[in-house]
Structure 1
C-alpha cells in the first residue's frame, strides 16, 4: 500500500532526475486502517486508506484523524504502466499536532502547483500558485510501494516534492541496511529494514544536521508487504510510527 510521503520541507535546489522505478508488483484495490503511534506506542491517530484502480491508473487517499482533532490528508494519483509515474498529489495538514497549516497540490498534466499556507495562528494565510514540472522519479505518498518494488538488496535514489511553502525537489536514498526478525500477529518473520535518507546539498547539510532517517520494514518475497515505518511526518517533527493495524 502506498505510504504517505513523509514531508521534508528543505530549501534545496533541484537535482537531475533519476530513472523512474519499474513496476514489479502492480497495485490493486485496497482498503486498510493503519495506525499512527508515538515511539512509546501511544496511539495518536487512526488512519483510513482507500485505493481504487482504473486501467493503469491508481487513485489512493490516506487520512489520519488525530485524537486532538488534527487532520493529515494525503491523496495520490499515479500510473503503473511499466514504470510508476506520479500524476498528481495533494496534502492537507492542520490542527494542533502540526506547527503549520498547509494545503498543497501539484499536477503533472497541467504543470502547475497551488499552496495555501499559514505559519501559525497569528500569521496571515499565504496563497502561492505557479508552474512546476514534476520529475519522472517523484514519488510523494508512494515510498512504501516503491520500496516494495525494488529488487532484493538494491538501493535507489528517488525524488519527493517538499513544500517550503514553494515546491522544491528533494532527493532521497532508499537503502536496505539489515535483515531483522519481526513479529506479525505473534508469528516471527524475516523483514528487510530500509533507511530513507535525504540527500542534502553541502550548504543545506551544514544548516540542518539532525534530520533522522525514515526507517521502513518490508516483508520480502513474491508478495511483499509493508510492516512498519518510523520517522517524522513533517520537517523537524517528532519520530512517529505507522503500522498497518
Structure 2
C-alpha cells in the first residue's frame, strides 16, 4: 500500500497543471519595513522572538522573517519578489534547525533558473538533492500574509505553494475570508477579517499525504482589511506535522 501511494503521488507531481494560475495584483506597494514578532504556544507561553526585515529596491523587494527560539532553534525564511503590477516571487530560502525541528532543512529555489536545492537531515543522516522545478506565476512561499493584505474585501483566492517534505511538492492554497474577528484596540472594539489558509490537494494526493504523514497544515490569519490593511496575527505550525503556534507583532514597553 505504501509503495502504491508513493507511485500515485509521483504521477500527480510529474504532471502538474497550472491552468488558470494567475498572479495576484498589487494593490499596496511594499516598502522598507522592520517589525518585531513573538511566537507563542497554544497555552500562551513565549517560545521564540522574531524579526521581520524588509528592504525595497527599484526592481525587487527582499524580505526576511527570523524566529530565534529559547531552546536555540532557528527559523530563517527569506524571499525576494517583484511588484510590477502583480506580485512575482523571484527566489526563496528557508532554514530550520535546532531542537524544535527534529528534521532540519535548508531549502531554496529560484524562478529564473527553475532550480531547487534541498539539504535535509533524517535519522541523523544528511542528504542533499537538487533539480528543476516549474513555478506557476502565483507561487507565494513566504508571501501569504502579504497576499492576504492585497486581496479585495471579502474575496477568496487560490494560489500555489512549494511544500518541502523534504521533496518539493507543488500544492494549491485556498485563501478564504472566514468570518469577522472582534478585537480590542485600546479601549475600543474593532473588527478585522479572519482568513482560513487551507491546502487543496485533491482526492488522490490528499489520500497519499494522509497515509504518508506528509499533509501540509491549515492556518488562520487575522488581517485588518479596512482602508490600509495590516497584519495582526497568524495561527499554525512552522513545520510539517509540527505544533501550532501563534505569531504576532510585539510592542515595546
In structure 2, runs of 5+ residues without a counterpart are: 1-8
Give, in whole Å, the separation in 2 of the partners of 1:52 and 1:159: 24
Shift of 1:185: 4.5
What is the RMSD computed on CA atoms of the aligned residues?
A: 1.8
Task: For residues 197-232 of structure 1, give each alpha carbon's deviation from its aligned partner in whole angstroms, at most 9, with x where no partner exists.
Answer: 100121232342986520000001221001010011
Q: Distance in 1 between matches of 2:79 and 2:64?
A: 6
What corresponds to 1:126 in structure 2?
A: 127
Q: Which residue of 2 aligns with 1:16?
A: 18
Map 1:86-125; keep pairs closer than 5 Å: 86-120=89-123, 122=124, 124-125=125-126
CA–CA distance in 2 between the matches of 1:77 and 1:58? 6
Question: In 2, are the aligned partners of 1:15 and 1:169 still within 8 Å (CA)?
Answer: no
> CA contact under 8 A between 1:37 and 1:45: conserved in structure 2?
yes
Query: 1:180, CA displacement in angstroms?
Result: 1.5
Deviation readout 1:17-61 (Å, 9 max, x if unpaired): 511000001111001111111111100100011100001410001
* Mean Cα deviation higher: 62-71 or 235-244: 235-244
- Moved beyond 6 Å, runs of 4+: none
Q: Is the CA contact 1:15–1:171 (under 8 Å) kept in the aligned structure 2?
A: no
Unaligned runs of 5+ in 1: 1-9
Secondary structure of 1:135 counterpart? coil
1:21/1:146 contact within 8 Å kept: yes
Q: Any idea what SS the aligned residue of 2:161 has?
A: strand
Task: Tell me if structure 2 keeps the 8 A contact 1:160–1:170.
Answer: yes
| Cα distance between partner residues in 2 of 1:186 and 1:62 | 31
Secondary structure of the residue aligned to 2:18 is: coil
Q: TM-score, normalised by structure 2?
A: 0.88
Aligned residues of 2:199 and 2:217 also touching (Cα < 8 A): no
- Counterpart in the other structure of 1:60: 63
Residue 186 of structure 1: how far off its partner (Å): 5.1
Q: Which has the higher helix share?
A: 2
Larger radius of gyration: 2
Deviates more, 1:202-211 or 1:155-164: 202-211
Are residue 171 (structure 1) and residue 163 (structure 2) matched? no
Change (3 A) 1:65 1:187: farther
- Aligned residue number for residue 189 of structure 2: 188
8 Å contact from structure 1 (residues 72, 92) kept in 2: yes
